[in-house]
Amino acid sequence: MGLESQLDNPFLTTTIDTVVNWGRKYSMWPLPFGTACCAVEFMGVVGPKYDISRFGAELVRFSPRQADLLLVMGTVTQKMAPILKQIYDQMPQPKWVVSMGACASSGGFYDNYSVVQGIDEIIPVDIYVAGCPPTPENVIGAVYKLQQKISQEKVAAWR
Amino acid sequence: MDQSQITDRLKARFGERILSTYAMCGQEAVTILPADLVEVLTFLRDEPELRFNMLMDVGGVDYLGFGGDGEDEDEVRSHRFEIAYQMFSYDLRHRYRVKVAVKDDSVEVPSLWEIWRGANWMEREVFDMFGIRFTGHPNLRRILNHDDFVGHPLRKDYPITKRQKLSRPIDHLLTDKQEWA
Ligand code: SF4
């Protein structure tokens, strides 16, 4: 049937970290926190042409309790900031955050009274994606980078 | 009706109370004082040949620094704030603009909520951004900035790099009945 039928001895020796991280990195469930134009670009990322599901992250969830990858896409205002914080807190561990675009990463060109100058003022960020908006390849690149990062993680480090 | 005809109607009706007129590329406007606002705009709404039954927008302008030291004569202002009202007539399909010169420091302008209900949120926005106090408004509170915000960010003397953080949840907005009034 599977791989084991090809082996004489149906056992593989590995570590917990390797096997759990292998599972995690190919089954990320993204929560799209889309507040501006970057979110429109994300539609291209999940669409058939670029298709993020090739990297195992296609199951977009709109409840933070069912997601482990928070994609922050767009401008976050001071008024929105507590909501973003709350959504992050509602996600079960393990969880990762990708900050997509100039606005989410640094406030972008909105150097003004109402915009948070980078979401890392509020929540921890794993991967920053440059661009205004980033190309779909860039976002897929971020997912790929995050997979590399996850494969280095220690399972016991997450609560 | 042509916009210049509307200007003529207003001048004939209100005379001296029209402080100035403005015309550019077929768009016309008059400037009046806050004390005349309700009367002039009620006239615009109710006059059978005008029938401006929709207030499309209320906008504020801060003319800080336009005190006459600039080179451009047109830009000299003796007052700091101006409120611009854009109107539209669904029936007659014409548009017009009325500006109000806010001369005194109390920055008070009568609310138009009694004339057009739609003025409610637009005036709240001007209050939020410019700190203009609309007297008679039923619910004059911030609409765009968060509740802990101090100051009025579109005023020219608001420091551009000043940041104000909201650290508490805004859940109360969802259940606040007055917010949706
Ligand atoms: S980074 Fe550019 S594209 Fe993305 S939300 Fe900001 S302005 Fe829009």
Instruction: For residue A78, give its domain range.
Output: 29-154
For residue range B114-126, what is the model confidence (pLDDT) as tens digits?
999 999 999 999 9
pLDDT bucket at A67, cuts 50 / 70 / 90: very high
- Asked if the structure places residue A39 within a domain, the reply is yes
pLDDT bucket at A124, cuts 50 / 70 / 90: very high
Distance CA B67, CA B171 (A): 44
Candidates A82, A111, A113; nearest CB to B168: A82
Size of interface A-B (CB pairs under 8 A): 35
- Counting ligand 1 atoms within 8 A of each CB, the residue from A33, A35, A38, A84 with the most, and so the one to mutate, is A38
- Asked if the structure places residue A91 within a domain, the reply is yes
pLDDT bucket at A13, cuts 50 / 70 / 90: confident
- Taken in order of first residue, the domains within chain B and their CATH numbers are 3-164 (3.30.460.80)
Nearest by Cα to A104 from A148, A134, A82: A134
B109: left (phi over 0), alpha (psi -120 to 50) or beta: beta
For residue range B42-95, what is the model confidence (pLDDT) as tens digits?
999 999 999 999 999 999 999 887 765 555 556 667 788 999 999 999 999 999
ipTM reported for the complex, 2 dp:
0.77
A134: CATH: 3.40.50.12280
- Asked if the structure places residue A79 within a domain, the reply is yes
- Asked if the structure places residue A66 within a domain, the reply is yes
- Asked if the structure places residue A12 within a domain, the reply is no
Predicted TM-score of the model (pTM) = 0.83
- Asked if the structure places residue A111 within a domain, the reply is yes
- Asked if the structure places residue A17 within a domain, the reply is no
Total count of domains within chain A: 1
- Asked if the structure places residue A118 within a domain, the reply is yes
Closest C-alpha residue for ligand 1 atom 5: A74
